[in-house]
Amino acid sequence: MARSTSYFLVISAAVLLPSACILAQGPQGNAGRGEKLFNELRCSTCHSVRGAGGASAPALGPKAGQTYTPNTLAGSMWSHVTKMWEAMKTAGISRPKITEQQAADLFVYFGGAAGSDKPGNAAQGRKVFEAKLCASCHDDSYQAPDLTRLAGNVSAYSMVQSLWEHGEGMLARMVSRNTAWQTMTAAEMGHIIAYLNSKK
Ligand code: HEC
Ligand code: HEC
């Protein structure tokens, strides 16, 4: 009995450890703080959450039949951010910086407490990284910061933080290189995160 238990532990550690390394979860969110932020950062001017807030932009949170996970949030933000920023500019609302912790708080408030992501696949992530043109800049340190130093610390929430902190510079570089902003599904986001965490 003791013996089979220790086998079980050894096997589950072997199975769990590699995926734990690839899937950095990021911090735990808090819904109360998320609600406060949603109003303070003025997201509520345009978006609603469970009926509360503005109507000029899509309601946030799980859509019917959807499993809402951190990658859903990060993927949809990366996909829609350029139009969102135009709307913010028109409305005279300044773009906030959002920390990794704040992204986690917003996620839980939007209704994602129950949803978690399956680990992405690093090899597939590399393919997405090329297909979405990330590699065309980030594999060249003259074009964009080297992302290998982020390895081990990338989560869906840190990707949200990077977007609000560095997205403007990234967009400017894309415009100057005639590169279009790319959209990303939640699954693609998960693969990219796995790839960035695995980079040596
Ligand atoms: C001035 C209005 C405005 C403000 C303020 C605003 N957004 Fe948006 N947001 C938009 C619009 C418009 C879109 C959809 C863009 C598109 O169609 O591509 C969007 C898209 C999004 C999406 C993707 C939604 C989806 O269903 O795919 C998320 C997530 C999001 N916003 C989060 C936020 C958060 C968090 C804040 C506050 C920090 C915020 N937004 C502030 C206008 C706004
Ligand atoms: C046209 C060039 C270009 C493309 C394409 C591009 N980036 Fe970037 N990226 C940049 C630049 C430039 C910065 C730094 C911007 C700044 O700090 O102002 C940056 C910053 C970042 C950061 C923040 C790095 C940090 O130090 O925290 C991340 C993460 C990132 N990019 C990921 C991606 C991903 C994922 C893709 C593909 C979906 C992508 N980038 C596509 C140029 C690019």
Q: Which ligand is nearest to the CA of 136?
A: 2
Our answer on whether the CB atom of 69 is closer than 6 Å to any ligand 2 atom is no
Nearest CA to ligand 2 atom 8: 170
161 C-alpha to ligand 2 centroid (Å): 12
Q: What predicted TM-score, i.e. pTM, was given to this entire model? A: 0.91
Question: Does 116 or 165 have the greater pLDDT score?
Answer: 165
* Ligand 2 pocket mutation, candidates 166, 185, 189, criterion most atoms within 8 A of CB: 166
Confidence of residue 200 (pLDDT cuts 50, 70, 90): low
Give me the pLDDT at residue 17, please: 44
Tokens of 18: 């590699």
Calpha distance 18→95 (Å, rounded) = 37
CA torsion 105→121→196→189, rounded to 10°?
Answer: -50
Calpha distance 23→104 (Å, rounded) = 15
Give me the pLDDT at residue 12, please: 43
87 C-alpha to ligand 2 centroid (Å): 22
